[in-house]
Each structure stands twice: as structure tokens, then as C-alpha cells.
Amino acid sequence: MQTETRQRIPEPPAADLRGWPWEAPAGADAGPAAEDAPLVSIVIPSYNQGVYIEETIRSIVLQDYPNVEVIVIDGGSTDSTVAVLKKYEPWLAHWVSEKDKGQANAINKGLSVARGEIVTWLNSDDLLLPGALRRLARAYVQKPGTFFVSPVEHFLDGTDKARVFEPQHVTHRELIEFWSGRVRWNDPGTFYTREVLETVGPIDESFRYSFDYEFVLRVSKRFEATYLPEPTTRFRVHAASKTVSEGDRFIYETARASQAYWNDAEGVDRKGFRRYFAVTMFRNAVVNARRSPAGALGYLWQGFTTDALRSPFWLAGWAAKVVGTRLAARRDRGGEWSGFGVD
């Protein structure tokens, strides 16, 4: 996207909207010349996110980077999404609004038309941070045979509460043992090269929740991760997101993806997995106790039957940890924020 095009981007929908991504940062780096900049393709899967998608699009087209294509695959939204897409149509390389088979299918549709040397997807309620693509391109030039992971800024929608998650130990072996606590990885903030996509193939559409984790497992088996030092992405936490509204369902698909690779690594900590799974069931029971008592009882049953001898002790240990964390948070006048319910 050329600089002169960027300067003609539509005005924000309200005059009082300030800051990123409604305004380009003052003194933004002009970035590399277009002929020197690898093409970056960003696929935005979307469905009824009209309240957020304009921010997402602007966070890309206002980047200080001259060679990016934006691809929006919308699942037939019935809100204001299509109006926003028409408003920004000159800045979109491709967009469609039609019924699809879910988020993974939408991303695959976008990847099939993407032309970039670097490719990623960005949910229609998330944002790129200023300068993200320029920093990514510099890393790509230095290490083109890898994939890229970066810190991600998680924030609670409508508040100034945020914290940065730093990736660590993003290797195939550590990703397999996701329950160990050693690996930290975010789907937003991960970028793949054309070589990676052509090597590992498309996203597995049998996954509704953990398709990104299954995909990075495949990628990390063949490629190493390069760590970007600065955050590239803002991940929005809000009540309608799958992470919040359906967060208790992720564990089943994450476990299925991991177990497919257990034979790849010696000494997988299966007892540790059972403990993690049981504690997750107990946590899900607490989270669902009010909205679905029957569901909460089901989670409790799954937790106790994961390991009949050890599960009661795991429950007691987890409960003690939660109580200790809450007391410490109260003592520290609010303590550490969590956007994900019971820690």
C-alpha cells in the first residue's frame, strides 16, 4: 500500500475518536521502499463484528509499510460489517461476504488467494500495533526460513486494562506438552512464510476452537520460530469472543491436537496432562456453576474420573491456590487482572 493511498483513508466514524488506529502515529517511520518490501498478506475472518472490524482494517492500512494486502472473508454478516467493507473497498485486495463453514474455513479461503511472502490472519476484533509490519519485514529478511512469533498485548474491551504476553519455548516438543507451563504462545502475533504454508498445507477444518494450535504444531515440527522483541498485535477480550463465551470447550480440541503428536516425543508427561485436564474441568465447573448447573456437574464428573485416586488432591491443591491468589489480589488493591475468569 503506497503512502499516498494511505493518506486518503476515510475519516473516523466519529470526530472525537483519537489515537491508534483512528490516527496514524505522529512521526511514523516511512518504512522501506515498495520495491524492497516483501508482500505481507493478512486474512481477516469475520462474522457480525461490525462494531470492531473498522478498527482492525485501519490498524493494517495505517501501517508505515508500503506492501500489504488485506483479504476479508466474511461469513454473511447481518450487521454493519458489509457497509464497513464497502467503505474500505479501495484498500482491500479481496473481500467476500457469504456463508462459510466457520472460522477455519474462512481463513483457508483467504489463504488460497493470498499472494504474500509473509502471511497471517487477524481476527476481526483484534488489531495490529503501529510499526508491526515494518519490524516483521526486517526479521523476515534476516531469517526467511522460519516462522515468527511476537509478544501480544491482551486488553479488556472498553477499558485501559492490558498486559503483554511474551512468547517463550515455542518449539514442537514444548508445544506438545502445552500443560507444562513452559511454553507461551499466542495465535495473534504469529506470522508464517510462503514456504511454511506450502510445506504444511491448509488449516485443519475439523477443529472449531484449536485449529491455530494444531497448525502451529505442524509448522513447528518442520520450522523453527524466530522471536520478535516487540509486540505486534492487540488481542481484544470481550464477552462475545470465543475465548470468553466458549472458552471451556477449547481443552478437548487442544488435547486432541496434542495427543496426535505424543509419539513424536519421548517421555511425554501423561500424568501431568491428566492433572491439567482434571483441574481444567474443575475450573470449568466453577465458571459454569451459575449459567449451567447441569453442565457444571458434568465438568466435575469429568474432573474426578480423569484419575479417581489423584483428582481429589488435585482439586484441593488448585482450590488452595485460587484462594491464595484472590486474597493476595485483595491485599494488593486489585492485584493482577485476568480476562479469563477463574485462574
The Cα–Cα gap between 231 and 123 comes to 16
Distance of CA 23 to the CA centre of its chain: 24
Mind listing the pLDDT tens digit for each residue in 136-147? 999 999 999 999
**In this predicted structure, what is the pLDDT of residue 241?**
83
- pLDDT confidence band for 201 (50 / 70 / 90): very high
Query: How many alpha carbons fall within 13 Å on the CB side of residue 337?
Result: 12
Q: Which domains does the chain have, with CATH numbers?
A: 3-245 (3.90.550.10), 270-343 (no CATH)
The Cα–Cα gap between 92 and 71 comes to 6
Mind listing the pLDDT tens digit for each residue in 283-301? 999 988 888 999 999 999 9
The Cα–Cα gap between 49 and 202 comes to 24
**In this predicted structure, what is the pLDDT of residue 141?**
95
Please give the sequence-ordered ranges of beta strands (E in DSSP) within 141-251, or none if there are none: 147-149, 152-156, 162-165, 190-193, 225-227, 233-237
Q: What angle do CA 223, 227, 154 make, to 5 degrees?
A: 115
Mind listing the pLDDT tens digit for each residue in 8-25? 889 898 878 889 999 988
Whether the per-residue pLDDT at 40 is higher than 60: the answer is: yes
Q: What angle do CA 249, 53, 342 make, to 5 degrees?
A: 30
Whether the per-residue pLDDT at 341 is higher than 70: the answer is: no
Q: What are phi and psi of 301, to 5 degrees?
A: -60, -45
Whether the per-residue pLDDT at 123 is higher than 80: the answer is: yes
Whether 210 and 138 have beta carbons less than 8 Å apart is answered as no
- pLDDT confidence band for 343 (50 / 70 / 90): very low
Whether 202 and 294 have beta carbons less than 8 Å apart is answered as no
Gap between the terminal Cα atoms of the chain: 42
Residue 5 vs residue 179, higher pLDDT: 179
Per-residue pLDDT, averaged over 120-130, amounts to 97
**In this predicted structure, what is the pLDDT of residue 287?**
87
Give the mean pLDDT of the chain: 90
| Cis preceding-peptide flag for 21 (omega within 30 of 0) | yes
- pLDDT confidence band for 2 (50 / 70 / 90): very low
In one-letter notation, the amino acid at residue 156 is L
Q: Which residues contact 33 (CB under 8 A, 6 or more apart)?
A: 66
72 sits in which H/E element: strand 68-74
Mind listing the pLDDT tens digit for each residue in 215-259? 999 999 999 999 999 999 999 998 888 888 888 899 999 999 999
The Cα–Cα gap between 237 and 159 comes to 10
Q: Facing residues of 193 across strands?
A: 118
Per-residue pLDDT, averaged over 73-78, amounts to 97
Q: Are strands 118-121 and 190-193 parallel, antiparallel or unpaired?
A: antiparallel
